[in-house]
Amino acid sequence: MFKARAYSAASASSPLAPTTIERREPTDQDVRIEILYCGVCHSDLHQARDEWRGFPTVFPCVPGHEIVGRVTATGSAVSRFKHGDLVAVGCMVDSDGTCPECAAGLEQFCPNVTLTYNSRDRHLGGVTFGGYSDGIVVDQRFVLRVPSNLPLAGVAPLVCAGITTYSPLRHWGVTRGQKVGVVGLGGLGHMGVKFAHALGAHVVLFTTSARKREDARRLGADEVVVSSDADAMSRHAGSFDFILDTVSASHDINAYLHLLRRDGNLTLVGAPSEPLSVQAFPLLFGRHRLSGSLIGGIAETQEMLDFCGRHAITADVEVIRMQEINTAFERLLKADVKYRFVIDMASLKS
């Protein structure tokens, strides 16, 4: 075992603070990674504050599942990676590899999936610790290759915010000429806008923040609707092929179901802690569908990274020092980030 520097929350109400954690020595199948950047997902905040009923947080909690770094050591059975390679690790670090979900390349639904943090650590016991740290050891099956042409800080958010928006757009067959709505312009939402635009869709961004209008257009939205404007909302009634809802807090999804065309689909990727209320009629009329989506499998995550390499897509980031994480959490709660905080792990050494 070796020690890594990290930031952890001691309880749901305590700020994140510096700590030291244990990492395993690489086994035959493992890759040891020096973490260079880690994105700050709203899930990190939900989890560190124990906001999700049914998915309790084990403390101390080291969040972080948008990791990019450099390989510093490899196990004897590792052939795909070598010392010095730039790699990424997202929300999962292991799965059983034998169940139907794993066979389908959908490791995120494996009943024995190990999440990057707040999962049972099958090597060391206790709980897994995430990327708010300067080093991690990961089974090679869950290590991703980073396209060489992309700025590293902007790559980190791709392995959660990126795949979480890319996967449902692909699964539901979004193509050129379709009308696609994205609800919320945060970390996930801004990637949803970029991907839907890159796929050739006509993209409408719904926001509660009128100040984000110009940015949304620059990021690829063809139209921007401030959701409090009832007239603007009603002008889009019955017109969307697909809507991606990325909102992190309670909100009225019926207002968006109403905007779908016949057989249109609204996919929820946001994970508010409180239940959403769904009315029957906005589903019944138009035979609308309401669905959900959880990150994406490993093969699809690599496909998404390669797509980003070809299309020069990365996240728009505000690079912060690890010491600024608690302020970053507060700003996330105010929807005040352009459009993903990414921690520069060099700051952990100072």
Contact residues for Zn ion (CB under 5 A)?
Answer: 41, 43, 160
Q: Report the run of H or E that residue 234 belongs to, with start and end.
A: helix 230-234
State the Cα–Cα distance between residues 18 and 9, nearest whole angstrom: 9
Residue 332 interacting partner from Zn ion, ligand NAP, none (CB closer than 5 to 8 Å by kind): ligand NAP
CB atoms within 10 A of CB 13: 8
Using rule CB under 6 A, residue 246 touches ligand NAP:
yes
Restricting to residues 255-274, name those near ligand NAP by CB under 6 A: 269-272
How many residues sit in the footprint of ligand NAP (CB under 6 A)?
Answer: 32
Toward ligand NAP, which CB reaches closer, 21 or 93?
A: 93
Binding mask 152-191 for ligand NAP (x = CB under 6 A): --------xx--x-------------------xxxxxx--
| Interface residue with ligand NAP, options 23, 194, 236, 251 (CB under 6 A) | 251
Using rule CB under 6 A, residue 276 touches ligand NAP:
no
Restricting to residues 62-91, name those near ligand NAP by CB under 6 A: none
Toward Zn ion, which CB reaches closer, 58 or 294?
A: 294
- The residues with which 179 forms a beta bridge, in sequence order, are 202
| Interface residue with ligand NAP, options 133, 207, 301, 314 (CB under 6 A) | 207
Which residue, 126, 167, 157, 136, is CA-closest to 301? 167
Number of residues assigned to the chain: 350
Stretch of 97-105, 230-238, 297-305, 329-337 lying at the interface with ligand NAP (CB under 6 A):
329-337
Distance of CA 112 to the CA centre of its chain: 20
| Interface residue with ligand NAP, options 212, 236, 258, 288 (CB under 6 A) | 212
Which residue, 50, 167, 49, is CA-closest to 105? 167
Give me the least distance between CB of 152 and Zn ion, in Å please. Answer: 18
Amino acid at 282: P
Which residue, 90, 97, 105, is CA-closest to 136? 90
Q: Report the number of secondary-structure helices (H) and strands (E) in the chain.
A: 11, 17
Using rule CB under 6 A, residue 38 touches ligand NAP:
no
Binding site for ligand NAP (CB under 6 A): 41-43, 46, 160-161, 164, 184-189, 207-209, 212, 246-249, 251, 269-272, 293-295, 332, 335, 337
